[in-house]
Amino acid sequence: MAERGRVVVIGSINMDVVVTVPRMPLPGETLAGGSVHQVPGGKGANQAVAARRLGVPTVLVGAVGADGFGTVLAGFLGAERIDISPVRTEHGPTGTALITVADGGENTVIVVAGANGSVGPNRVAEAALRSGDVVLLQDEIPAETNEAAAAAARAAGATTILNLAPFRPPSRRLLDAVDVLIVNETEFAELVGASGAGADGIAELLRSGDALTAPDGGPLGDVVVTLGVDGALARIGGELLTVPGRRMPVVDTTGAGDCFCGTFGASLAVGLEPASALARANTAAGLAVGRFGAGPSMPTADEVAAVGPA
């Protein structure tokens, strides 16, 4: 898809306020938590860290607030050697995610956009997109910004990957400009109206090709569906690709999807074929869930290589 190039992430930067609990509370129930942590996160930032730790030059376009969280996040991302020159400091709060993590790794996430809402279409030019870049987008910034970024990437000859999370129905303009959609099983069901399809049903839908449609009834292009411990399924270039699942220790699943997306994008940027990029992304996500937190849990290239594909 792309020649060797950079990963350019246009997306969110959050501080994750994480509370550990023995189990998820019932509605109206009060539980005693185990601990509270402040951990760098945000889908855009997480994907940028995942890509950069694999050794790929990475640029992040985003915003933080003029507060303590913003200062900490800028320091963390700079220490990761990500190009954060396009990250602006805006008046008001930094984006914040309130996360509950239960024993066994299950989590819930509530996101407050904060400064991420200021990442408008006018910011896309700051990425200086060029041929060979892989552009990563998610749904924690305004929809019109994703549309502008995908259009600019198409014009520049870059490859665009859109992670439809948190899910919102994509516009036809966006779908027509994106090269690869990445969704989890729940997001896939919302995208195509196939609730409860399961892995076999998803595989059959992907295999059906042109019969797979978006919410507007129009066609979908290349799609990757992540299935957690069951691996991933994809339709890329008209070919059904299967990534086998793997069982790895689970501490915290927060950020696993971001790790998958960042690794997949970075792998395309250095010239890997989609099948190999998917397998590598699945391995990296498996390593990430064995660690606490989102941004800091992303593995390095050496760690991913040591495990190898399933």
Give yes or no for residue 85 having a pLDDT over 60.
yes
Active site annotation includes 258: yes
pLDDT tens column, 274-305 = 999 999 999 999 999 999 888 999 999 999 99
For the chain, percent of residues with pLDDT exceeding 90: 75
Give the model's pLDDT for residue 3: 44
Give the model's pLDDT for residue 253: 81
> How many residues make up the chain in this entry?
310
Give yes or no for residue 183 having a pLDDT over 50.
yes
Between 199 and 53, the more confident residue is 53
Give yes or no for residue 154 having a pLDDT over 60.
yes
* Position 2 confidence tier, pLDDT thresholds 50, 70, 90: very low
Give the model's pLDDT for residue 218: 84
Is 201 annotated as contributing to ligand binding?
no
Instruction: Check if the beta carbon of residue 14 is closer than 8 Å to that of residue 45.
Output: yes
* pTM metric for this prediction: 0.93
Is 291 annotated as contributing to ligand binding?
yes
Give yes or no for residue 107 having a pLDDT over 50.
yes
> Could you give the CA distance from residue 157 to residue 174 in angstroms, rounded to a whole number?
16
Is 203 annotated as contributing to ligand binding?
no
Is 19 annotated as contributing to ligand binding?
no
Backbone region of residue 132 per phi and psi (left: phi > 0; alpha: psi in -120 to 50; beta: other values): left
Angle at CA of residue 47, ends 8 and 100, nearest 5°: 150
Average pLDDT of the chain to the nearest whole number: 92
Is 210 annotated as contributing to ligand binding?
no
Q: Are strands 232-236 and 239-243 parallel, antiparallel or unpaired?
A: antiparallel
Give yes or no for residue 187 having a pLDDT over 50.
yes
Burial-class residue 110 by CB neighbours within 10 Å (0-12, 13-18, 19+): exposed
Q: Considering only the top CATH level, what class is 7-24+34-307?
A: alpha beta
Interval 9-31 mean pLDDT: 93
pLDDT tens column, 237-262 = 989 999 998 888 888 888 899 999 99
> Could you give the CA distance from residue 297 to residue 291 in angstroms, rounded to a whole number?
5
> Which of 67, 210, 258, 302 does the annotation list as catalytic?
258
Is 297 annotated as contributing to ligand binding?
yes
Is 184 annotated as contributing to ligand binding?
yes
Residue partners of 115: CB distance under 8 A and separation at least 6? 13, 63, 64, 65, 70, 88, 89, 90, 92, 93, 94, 95
